Amino acid sequence: MSGPEDGEPVLLLHGFPQSRRAWDQVAPALHAAGLRTIAPDQRGYSDGARPVGADSYALPLLAGDAVGILDALGVESAHVVGHDWGSVVAWYLAARHTGRVRTLTAISFPHLEAYWYALRHDPQQRQLSQYIAYFVSPDSTAGLLADGAEPLRSLFGDDVAPDQVKHYLDLHTRPGVLDATLNWYRSGSLLAEHEGLGPVPVPTTYISSDGDRAASRVAVDRTAEHVTGPYRFVLLEGVTHWQPEQAPQRITDEILRRVNQCPGR
C-alpha cells in the first residue's frame, strides 16, 4: 500500500508471470495525483498464500481474495485496475461484486464472455490461445524453468526492462512458485465456459494494444457488448502485451481519466 492515506483507493491486480512490481512505474504517478494504491502479490505469487492444487485457483476464489483484501483494509469499494490475469479477476469483480468496484480499468484481456465467444467462433482466437495447452500440461513448469529459466524469460522478449525481468524470474524460480502460478491456467477458467458472467454496470475502460496477442479483434470488439455502464476503449500503438511496463504514462493517464470522471460514491 502506498500513497496518501486519505486518497481514493485503487486496487492494482497484476498478471502472469509478473508480480505487484508490474505497477512500479504506474503507482508513483497515481500517488502524485492523490490516490492510494493497493497492489498485492496475488494467490500463488505471495509467500503467504500458495495453496496446492488447481482447484484452489478457481476464478471465484481469486476474486474472493481481492474482496478479502478490501475487507481487511476497511475499504468499501475501490477503483479496480487489472492487467492480463489481473484483468480477468477485475472483470469478474465488476460483474459479480459490483458494489466493491467504483470503476474498472481492464488492460490486455477482454471481458470473459467476449473471449469465450471468440474461442467458439473465431479461428484467430483459437490460434492465439494455443499457448494455454502448454501452460496447463504437466511438463510446463519444468519446461519453462529449463536452461536457467530461459523459456520463461523469453516470454518478455525485449519489451520489459532487464531489471524488471530479473525480479520476475527471481520470484518464479523460487521452489513451488511457478507451479502455483500456472495453476491459474490449470484451473480451467479460460478454456471452459461457465455460466454467463453477466454484464458490467460500472464505468469501464478497456485498454488493448496493437502488438498484444492475448485477444483477437473479435474478442476485443465484442467486449463493449458486455458493459452497460459508461465505456471507453483505448488502443495503444507500438505496444505489446506488457502495457504497464512499456507504456506506464499512458496507462496512468487512462486510470486517472476514469477515476476523475467517477470519484468515490
Q: Which residues are catalytic?
A: 84, 185, 241
Go through 1-17 and write b for each residue having 16 or more CB atoms within 10 A of its CB, e for each that does not: eebeeeebbbbbbbbbb
User: Where does residue 265 rank: exposed (0-12), middle (13-18), buried (19+ CB within 10 A)?
Assistant: exposed
- Placement of cell 511438463 in the chain: 139
Give the residues across from 38 on adjacent strands: 11
Residues 109, 84: Cα–Cα separation, whole Å: 5
Q: What is the DSSP string of 101-120?
A: EEEEEEESS--HHHHHHHHH
* Grid cell in block for residue 99: 458494489
Residues 54, 180: Cα–Cα separation, whole Å: 8
How many helices (H) and strands (E) the chain has is answered by 12, 6
